[in-house]
């Protein structure tokens, strides 16, 4: 059986980042094209800024109904999730390599990322 090496981890994590960026970019472009189809002829008012809070149930409802704004938001969420997934798979890779110091460091980084996201949402 072939052992898991550092080079394998680097290649795997690099592919995660590459694929995550391509997927998120594709979703945003699809949402943008759909937005232009749905709202391309609407007049834009740059005098006022409409601040809206993110509502998860409205986001899911928008996705099920094909809302272009929800699809663009999904692409942004995929882009945010990409480095988080990189850290998760780095933890798994370090664990498989039995490098427990880097496993603990990566786990601490994941805890900091998740707590920052949760505290930022409040």
Determine the pLDDT at residue 96.
85
| Backbone φ and ψ of 98, nearest 5° | 60, 35
Please state the pTM of the whole predicted model. 0.77
Of 111 and 13, the one with more pLDDT: 111
Q: What is the pLDDT of residues 12-45, one digit of tens each?
A: 888 888 999 999 999 999 999 999 998 878 777 7
Report long-range pairs for 10-16 (Cβ below 8 Å, ≥24 apart): 12/89, 12/93, 13/86, 13/89, 13/90, 13/93, 16/82, 16/85, 16/86, 16/89
| Residue 46 covered by a domain | no
| Residue 48 covered by a domain | no
- The string of DSSP letters for 47-86 reads SS-------HHHHHHHHHTT-HHHHHHHHHHHHHHHHHHH
| Residue 43 covered by a domain | no
**Lowest-confidence range among 6-10, 72-76, 81-85, 100-104?**
6-10
| Residue 72 covered by a domain | yes
Q: What is the pLDDT of residues 89-105, one digit of tens each?
A: 889 888 988 889 999 99
Give the range of the structural domain holding residue 60, as residue numbers without chain letter. Answer: 6-37+56-121
Q: Which residue has the tokens 């899911």?
A: 60
| Residue 50 covered by a domain | no
| Residue 14 covered by a domain | yes
């Amino acid at each position: 059986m072939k052992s898991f090496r550092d080079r394998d981890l680097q290649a795997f994590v690099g592919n995660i980042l590459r694929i995550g960026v391509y997927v998120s970019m594709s979703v945003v472009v699809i949402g943008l094209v759909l937005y232009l189809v749905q709202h391309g002829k609407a007049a834009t008012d740059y005098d006022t800024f409409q601040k809206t809070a993110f509502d998860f149930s409205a986001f899911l409802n928008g996705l099920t109904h094909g809302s272009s704004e929800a699809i663009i938001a999904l692409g942004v969420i995929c882009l945010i999730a990409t480095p988080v997934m990189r850290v998760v798979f780095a933890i798994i890779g370090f664990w498989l390599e039995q490098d427990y110091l880097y496993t603990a460091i990566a786990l601490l980084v994941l805890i900091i990322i998740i707590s920052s996201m949760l505290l930022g949402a409040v």
